[in-house]
Amino acid sequence: MKIIGPIAGIGYRLRPFTLNKPKAFLTIGGKTVLDHILEKFIDTFNTKLELILIIGYKKKQLINYLKERKYENHFNITFIEQIPRGYKEHIPYYWGLGEAVYLSHSRFKNSKTITPEDNKREGAIIFLGDMVPLEDYSYLLFKYYESDVDGIITVMKVLKEEASSYGVVEVDENKIIQKLVEKPKEFISDLAIAGIYVFSNNTLKMLFKNIKKYLDQRKDDGKEISLTESLQDLVRQGYKIEAVELKKGILDFGRPSEVLKGNKVLIERKSTKMSEFSNLNIIFERSWIKNPVYIGENTKIINSVVGSYVSIGDGSYITNSIISNCIIEKNVRLNNIITENSIIGSNVIIDGIIKDNLIIGDKSVY
């Protein structure tokens, strides 16, 4: 089993937050989204699997971060670059998720399957850089190995009015996928594709062939190559793909409203207690903390109200402020701020703002 992670994309829906870093570097509860994802794999497997990362935007940041965090102790890491199809205002854009997944095909060329067991064992798990499961992958792998399916796609129920923003699936009474549609204009299903896939070796090779067909047809002014079309081709070709809802759910960090929902869930699981302030060198004066919150090391909170559902990164300094339901990254300076439902990047300085729903990129000054 290999792991494929297409994490080359820009994260346009989180701009300007993602102007200076990949979307997988959003930090919540002291960890990046990428950390949350990879730690789930470490918790699941007791062997060192190959981790194939498709990188592009801010690729050096990603490579250096993984080395600094010593992830090579847990994975055999292979980096494959997705080349930009062009640039807009010096920002690269790519040929989409379909191409990103296809780029991993070279890592499967020499794999040969003999038995059905080998076919499943020599397959792959594909994850997206903005989807975090709330449990490890044991349940998903159990479903994959113990059933006669060729693959599994995780799904999550979404509101009917939001379904058009996702790829969705229609299933039969046994949860076998009958149809996949990318961002349907008319309502088809409330089961949205949740960004984790498991495929057998033979299924994966056919998926690569399907994607290549669309890549060969692409034009310079054409749209991105989606993955959903090639998955639909698998269904037409008779491959048996099951839709699976994870028992504890999955968090979507691809859009601001979902990021803040995910923040709530993660902070409820790991909240910083006042009894920990001394060990973490947290200075707390004339302030009120409403749990759950996460507060990083070497942080100062003076004459402020913080919480609930606030994540604050290391080394931040907050004075004379009222903050709730926010993500604040490391080394941030906030003074005279009242805000709710905001996402604030690292090394930001803000003085004197009363405004909700802020999204502020790294190194900004207001």
- What pLDDT score does 168 carry? 94
pLDDT in tens, 32-59: 999 999 999 999 998 999 999 999 999 9
Which CA distances in Å does 325 have to 169, 217, 256?
A: 32, 46, 12
Per the prediction, the chain carries an average pLDDT of: 93
Q: What percent of the chain has pLDDT over 70?
A: 99
Q: Concatenated DSSP letters for 252-269? A: E-SSHHHHHHHHHHHHHH
3-state DSSP assignment of residue 280: coil
Taking the C-alpha atoms of residue 360 and residue 326, their distance in angstroms, rounded to an integer, is 12
Least confident of 10-14, 166-170, 311-315: 10-14
Q: Where in the chain is the domain with CATH 3.90.550.10?
A: 2-255
Per-residue pLDDT for 111 more than 70?
no
Let me know: does 214 contact 225? Beta carbons within 8 Å: yes
Q: Mind listing the pLDDT tens digit for each residue in 88-110?
A: 878 888 999 999 999 999 998 76
Return the ∠ at Cα 106 (arms to 123 and 132), rounded to 5°.
50
Q: Where in the chain is the domain with CATH 2.160.10.10?
A: 271-360
Q: Give domain 2-255's CATH architecture.
A: Alpha-Beta Complex (3.90)
CA distance 366 to 15: 17
C-alpha to C-alpha distance for 306 and 290, rounded to whole angstroms: 6
Q: Is the peptide bond before 292 cis (omega within 30 degrees of 0)?
A: yes
- Regarding pTM above 0.75, the answer is yes
Give pLDDT tens digits for 220-258. 777 899 999 999 999 999 999 999 998 888 998 988 888
Residue 120, pLDDT > 90, answer yes
**363 pLDDT higher than 90:** yes
Please say if the pLDDT value at position 119 is more than 80.
Answer: yes
The pLDDT tens digits of the residues spanning 196-218 come to 999 999 999 999 999 999 999 98
Distance CA 178, CA 185 (A): 18
Rounded alpha-carbon distances, angstroms, from residue 5 to 141, 256, 304: 17, 22, 40
CATH assignment, 271-360: 2.160.10.10
Mean pLDDT, residues 325-343: 97
- The residue ranking higher by pLDDT, 331 or 111, is 331
Q: What are phi and psi of 141, to 5 degrees?
A: -70, -35
Tokens of 103: 């780029």
